[in-house]
């Protein structure tokens, strides 16, 4: 009886659990596609927090690793369709980098569904909403991702207790400009 109720509780917790997903969207296609999904009032789950980047070529594989290290259950990388990159070829670099990274993540024990590479154009609002819905469903089915520790052992970052906005950090490149 008590065993049963524990299982039920776990099942209830699993049903309530919502995955955290970080989305890296290129500003020209996918971010604009997400905006259009908004203007077209297409509903999708709120699990994806979007970071706007100029181009999918800007997405350093470290960003993805960082996200998983900080507790992401999934990462969405989305750019312009091959051939349509605003900068001609940034998405080709993204494709190669993410392909390699995906294999590394699999090697580390992450399910391949946790990193998703998609091409969404500025006109593909419905596609964007579908991608988000589908990904949230897939990641939900996988359950929470295992988290790797921060190398610096940053307080809070690993335990996830507080946002790790440092109080005083030199601005990148400041030295050069002075």
Partner 1 sequence: MARIGVFVCHCGTNIAKTVDVDRVAAAAARMPNVAYATTYLYMCSDPGQNIIKEAVKEHSLDRIVVAACSPSLHEKTFQKCAEAAGLNPYFSEMANIREQCSWVHSDREEATAKAIKLVQMAVARAYYDQELYQSQIPVHRRALVIGGGVAGIQAALDVAASGYEVVLVERTPSIGGRMAQFDKTFPTLDCAACILTPKMVEVASDPNVKIVTYAEVESVSGFLGNFEAVIRRRARSVRMDACNGCGVCYQKCPSKKIPSEFNAGLGTRTAIYVPFPQAVPNVPVIDRENCRYFLTGKCRICEKVCSAQAIDFDQQDEILKEQFGAIIVATGIDVLDHSIYGEYGYGRYPDVISGLQLERLINAGGPTQGILKRPSDGKEPESVVFIQCVGSRDDSKGFPYCSKVCCMYTAKHTILLKEKHPETEIYSFYIDIRSTGKGYEEFVRRAQEEFGVHYLRGRVSRVYPRGDKMVVMGVDSLLGQQVEVEADLVVLATAAQARSDAKELARKLNVATDRYNFFTEAHPKLRPVETLTAGVFLAGACQFPKDIPDSVASGSAAAAKVASMFSKPFLLSEPTVAEVLPLTCVGCLNCQSVCPFNAIDEVAFVNPLTREEKKVAKVNEGLCNGCGTCVAACYSSSIQLRGFTDEQIFRQIETALAP
Contacting positions for partner 1 (CB under 8 A): 20, 22, 27-29, 31-32, 34-39, 41-46, 49-55, 57-63, 66-67, 70-72, 83-84, 86-90, 93, 97, 121-124, 129, 156-157, 160-165, 167-169, 171-176
Please report how close the Cβ of residue 6 comes to partner 1 at its closest, in angstroms: 24
Q: Assess contact for 68 and 22: CB atoms under 8 A.
A: no
CA nearest 91: which of 64, 67, 118?
A: 118
**How near is the Cβ of 154 to partner 1 at its closest, in Å?**
9
Nearest to 73 by CA among 3, 171, 141: 141
Please report which helix (H) or strand (E) contains residue 131, including its range: helix 125-142
Pick 2 or 176: Cβ nearer partner 1: 176
Cα distance between residue 111 and residue 44, in whole Å: 23
Report the nearest approach of partner 1 to the CB of residue 13 (Å): 16
In this structure, are residues 32 and 150 in contact, taking their beta carbons and an 8 Å threshold?
no
Q: How far is the CB of 54 from partner 1 (least distance, A)?
A: 5
**CB of 60 or CB of 146, closer to partner 1:** 60
Q: Which is nearer to partner 1, 3 or 178 (CB)?
A: 178
Q: Locate tokens 């100029």: which residue?
A: 54
Nearer to partner 1, 153 or 175 (CB): 175
Structure tokens at 138: 């897939």
């Amino acid at each position: 009886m008590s065993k049963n109720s524990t299982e039920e509780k776990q099942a209830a917790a699993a049903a309530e659990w919502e995955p955290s997903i970080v989305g890296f969207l290129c500003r020209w296609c996918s971010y604009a596609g997400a905006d259009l999904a908004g203007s077209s009032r297409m509903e999708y789950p709120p699990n994806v927090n979007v970071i706007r980047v100029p181009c999918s070529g800007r997405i350093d594989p470290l960003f993805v690793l960082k996200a998983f290290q900080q507790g992401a259950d999934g990462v969405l990388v989305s750019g312009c369709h091959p051939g349509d990159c605003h900068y001609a070829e940034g998405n080709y670099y993204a494709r190669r980098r993410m392909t390699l990274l995906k294999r590394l993540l699999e090697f580390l024990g992450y399910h391949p569904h946790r990193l998703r590479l998609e091409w969404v154009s500025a006109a593909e609002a419905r596609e964007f909403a579908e991608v988000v819905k589908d990904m949230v469903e897939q990641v939900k089915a996988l359950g929470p991702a295992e988290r790797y520790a921060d190398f610096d052992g940053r307080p809070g970052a690993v335990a996830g207790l507080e946002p790790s906005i440092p109080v005083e950090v030199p601005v990148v490149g400041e030295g050069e400009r002075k």
